Structure 1
Amino acid sequence: MEVETALYIVPTPIGNLEDITLRAIRILKEVDGILAEDTRKTGILLKHLEISKPLSSYHIFNEHQTVKRIIERLHNGEKLALVSDAGTPVISDPGFLLVRECIANDIKVECLPGATAFVPALVNSGLPADKFIFEGFLPHKKGRQTRLNILAEEERTIILYESPHRLLKTLKQLGESLGTDRIALVARELTKIHEENARDTISELIKHFEAKAIKGEIVIVVEGKGK
């Protein structure tokens, strides 16, 4: 069955290229064009999948300027897919503005289920997964300490995204605000050959990562405050 005119939110693998659904592959083959965070990275995935489609750049630095143009394309009957570099678009990635504008313009939005980094990290942590809070990336400067102070009182399991060069700084600040005895997991290179899931107290995790080179995208999972 041919896809309808719509914006399709298509999750892509976070590492292992096998982690893409059959439905996602079909949608990518049937749409008229693909909106990509990084056209070079998406091009590599499409080549692996043997899919040839026009690629357009859509990222955090150009989304305000391009949303109107994309809405016009959809109004003209094009079927478009939005992908990020890895995982599900809109989750700590550009895309929110576009989805909101599609809804405001009565354009169908269909989000496919698929890969996202925080779910396997949460499951691998061994921490309570019935209730959790996803914070994404902490503010780099303004408001950072305020968020940390709020998280210090959070009773649910806490999930953060972080970059390799900020990991130690963030772990140390989490230790200062939440206590170095909190149990946490640092997951990196998820689904890749060198995947690591390091579980320990925050203080021990700091020692662990001070002694090694840190690479790969990172998810931090921290236990909530005990009652």
Structure 2
Amino acid sequence: MSKPMSIRPANENSQARFNGLAGDKKAGEFLEELMNHFEATTAGGVAQVSDEFTQVQSAMNRILEIFSGSKANSELELQNLRSHFGERIESLEEEKAKALAAARESLEKEKEAEQKLQAAEGMATAYQSIKEQLDEKKAENETLKTQNGDLTAKLKDLPSKDEEINDLRITVARLETENEQLKERLEDYRTFRGVGKVDDGEIGVN
């Protein structure tokens, strides 16, 4: 417990009554109870300190007043004050418990939200990785499509190439035929002039 606080009467006229009251056992116990309540309130911060301080000071002044009267009235007033502050303490404890429960609930929700956020970040990272892989596959597919298009175009050109090859073969055959004919004509011409036969592969006239 913190250092006990000194309580001063509201005015000098009540100083004597206060000093006498300090020797009363019941009053002393109640004063101690009030001081403990006030210190617990200021330490816990549950209610406003100024409000509690006002209530405690008012109670102290009231105690000084009631003990100046009859003993029966003093004890009755003391019980009423004890009952009032007992209820007030219970009320403050309930408020404190509710505040702590709300704080715990808020903390749990914050932790749950943090876990969900971490899970979402993990899913986002995984999604990004999958997306990058899909983009790579998409780029590969585009490349394959381009290559496939080139191959398709070449395949379409194959019939025309075959036609060109056939044409070239026909041309070669025709040229070979013409060459043979030229060789025969040249041979006939040389025979006619007495030159002799033409060697294979030789074309032309000397």
TM-score by length of 1: 0.18
Larger proportion of helix: 2
Whichever structure has more strand as a proportion of its residues is 1
Give the TM-score of the pair, scaled to structure 2.
0.19
The structure with higher relative contact order (CA 8 Å, sep 6+) is 1
The structure number with the bigger radius of gyration is 2
